[in-house]
Amino acid sequence: MTDTTLTLISHPLCPFVQRAAILLLEKDVPFERINVDLSAKPDWFLALSPTGKVPLLKVRQPDGSDAILLESMVICEYLDETQTGAPMYPDDALSRARQRAWIEFATQTQTEGWMFLHAVDSATAETRRSAFRDKLRKLEAELGDGPYFAGADFGMVDAVFAPMFRYFGIIDSAAAKPIFDGLPRANAWRAALAERPSVRNAVVADYADRFRDHLRQHGALVAA
């Protein structure tokens, strides 16, 4: 696809954008990244996005027109299907289907983790921590020897879970560590993802500071 220019329309803190950025970096695809202020969405962005959400991927066509893709998994699968580099799914149809099921599970897991991170009182924090831990226990039972979800090869499930795990390397370790205690495989997976170059480079250099500021602005207990 050398005749196609890719532009990722983004927000610096959006975890769903990070999925697409990880795919682009894994595939070693040149791309432009444009960040949008979602609190004051520009008209040009609203004209492109029917949901008003990021990410969007703008795909320059050979005739000079642009095609717009929305939704992170649609973008990720398009990139996997059209770009060179290692495939992000296994060849076997059953294995692919099972991995897509765990990607669906990631949405629930991220919701519980996000609500824990943004809890403003102890009771809510404990309820959400417990719910998030329950999701992690299910992952622990599925994981093998690693370092990645399905073994030695980094894949789509890894790209999807990595942005959520990133949060727990940013908040105070006193809040993060107990969540992963007793879950050695999940903890090792989280550490392996944090070291992956595509995961590290999927965010802006000051991402950690931005995320801590975001938590403080929302009065989150973990930001105290």
Q: Are 156 and 198 contacting, i.e. CB atoms less than 8 angstroms apart?
A: no
Q: Are residues 199 and 98 in the same domain?
A: yes
**Could you say which of 30, 62, 82 is where a domain stops?**
82
**What CATH number is associated with residue 215?**
1.20.1050.10
The per-residue pLDDT of the chain, averaged, comes to: 96
CATH number of residue 58's parent domain? 3.40.30.10
Please say whether the beta carbons of 80 and 87 come within 8 A: yes
Q: Give the predicted TM-score (pTM) of the model.
A: 0.95
For residue 224, name the pLDDT band (cuts at 50, 70, 90): confident
Number of domain units in the chain: 2
Q: Is 88 within a domain?
A: no
The pLDDT assigned to 1 comes to 40
How, if at all, do strands 6-10 and 31-35 pair?
Answer: parallel
Residue 137 and residue 111 share a domain: yes
- Token pair belonging to 63: 């005739």
d(CA 64, CA 87): 28
Instruction: Note the pLDDT tens digit of each residue in 40-63.
Output: 999 999 999 999 999 999 999 999
- Tokens of residue 184, six digits: 């050695």
Q: Is the pLDDT reported for residue 82 higher than 70?
A: yes
Q: How many angstroms separate the first and last alpha carbons of the chain? A: 48
106 and 186 both lie in a single domain:
yes
170 within some domain: yes
Please tell me whether residues 70 and 111 are part of one structural domain. Answer: no
Q: Tell me the backbone φ, ψ of residue 68, rounded to 5 degrees.
A: -115, 125
Domain of residue 116: give its range: 93-223
Q: Kindly state whether residue 166 falls inside one of the protein's structural domains.
A: yes
Residues 135 and 204 placed together within one structural domain of the fold: yes
